[in-house]
Homo-oligomer: A and B are copies of this chain.
Amino acid sequence: MKLNKMQLLFFLSLLFVLPACNQKSTQPDDVDPLPSWNDGVTKTAILNYVNDVTNAESENFIKISERIATFDNDGNLWSEQPAYFQLFFAMDRVKALASEHPEWKTEQPFKAVLDDDMNELMKHGEHGLVKIVMATHAGNTTDEFEAIVKEWLANAKHPRFNRPYTDLVYQPMLELIKYLQENDFKTFIVSGGGIEFMRPWVEEAYGIPKDQVIGSSIKTEYDYNNGDPIIKRLPELDFIDDKEGKPEGINRFIGRKPVFASGNSDGDLQMMRWAESNKLKSFMLYVHHTDAEREWAYDRDSHIGRLDKGLDEANEKGWSVVDMKNDWKVIYPFELK
Q: Is the CB of B273 within 8 A of A244?
A: no
Q: Which of A13-21, A47-55, A107-115, A282-290 contacts B (4 or more CB under 8 A)?
A: A13-21
Say whether A65 faces chain B, with CB atoms less than 8 Å apart.
yes
Q: Is the CB of A209 within 8 A of B65?
A: yes
Q: Is the CB of B229 within 8 A of A274?
A: yes
Known interface pairs A13-B14, A210-B256, A222-B245; 14 further A-B residue pairs with C-beta atoms within 8 A, sorted by A's residue number: A21-B21, A65-B210, A68-B211, A186-B209, A186-B211, A210-B255, A211-B254, A220-B252, A221-B248, A222-B247, A222-B270, A228-B277, A229-B247, A229-B274
Q: Which of A4-12, A122-130, A170-178 contacts B (4 or more CB under 8 A)?
A: A4-12
Q: Is the CB of B220 within 8 A of A248?
A: yes
Supply 10 A–B pairs (Cβ within 8 Å), ascending by A.
A6-B9, A9-B9, A10-B13, A17-B17, A186-B209, A199-B255, A211-B256, A217-B252, A222-B274, A227-B273
Q: Is the CB of B244 within 8 A of A222?
A: yes
Q: Is the CB of A229 within 8 A of B270?
A: yes
Report the Cα distance A24→B15, complex, angstroms. 21
What is the minimal beta-carbon distance from A323 to any residue of chain B, in angstroms?
27
Nearest 4 CB-CB pairings of A with B:
A210-B255, A222-B244, A21-B21, A211-B254
User: Hey, which chain B residues are within 8 Å of A244, CB to CB?
Assistant: 221-222
Report the Cα distance A255→B231, complex, angstroms. 11
Known: A6-B9, A211-B186, A213-B255. A248 touches B273 (CB 8 A): no
Say whether A42 faces chain B, with CB atoms less than 8 Å apart.
no
User: Hey, which chain B residues are within 8 Å of A321, CB to CB?
Assistant: none
User: Hey, which chain B residues are within 8 Å of A213, CB to CB?
Assistant: 255
User: Hey, which chain B residues are within 8 Å of A254, CB to CB?
Assistant: 210-211
Interface centre among A18, A68, A229 (most CB of B within 10 A): A229
Say whether A140 faces chain B, with CB atoms less than 8 Å apart.
no
Which A residues are within 8 Å of any B CB, using their own CB? Answer: 5-6, 9-10, 13-14, 17-18, 20-21, 65, 68, 142, 186, 188, 195-196, 199, 203, 209-213, 217, 220-222, 224, 227-229, 231, 244-245, 247-248, 251-256, 270, 273-274, 277
What is the minimal beta-carbon distance from A101 to any residue of chain B, in angstroms?
27
User: Hey, which chain B residues are within 8 Å of A227, CB to CB?
Assistant: 273
Q: Is the CB of A277 within 8 A of B229?
A: yes
Report the Cα distance A206→B13, complex, angstroms. 40
Report the Cα distance A7→B46, complex, angstroms. 45
User: Hey, which chain B residues are within 8 Å of A245, CB to CB?
Assistant: 222
CB-based nearest B residue for A7 = B9
User: Hey, which chain B residues are within 8 Å of A231, CB to CB?
Assistant: 247-248, 251
CB-based nearest B residue for A8 = B6
What is the minimal beta-carbon distance from A196 to any residue of chain B, in angstroms?
8
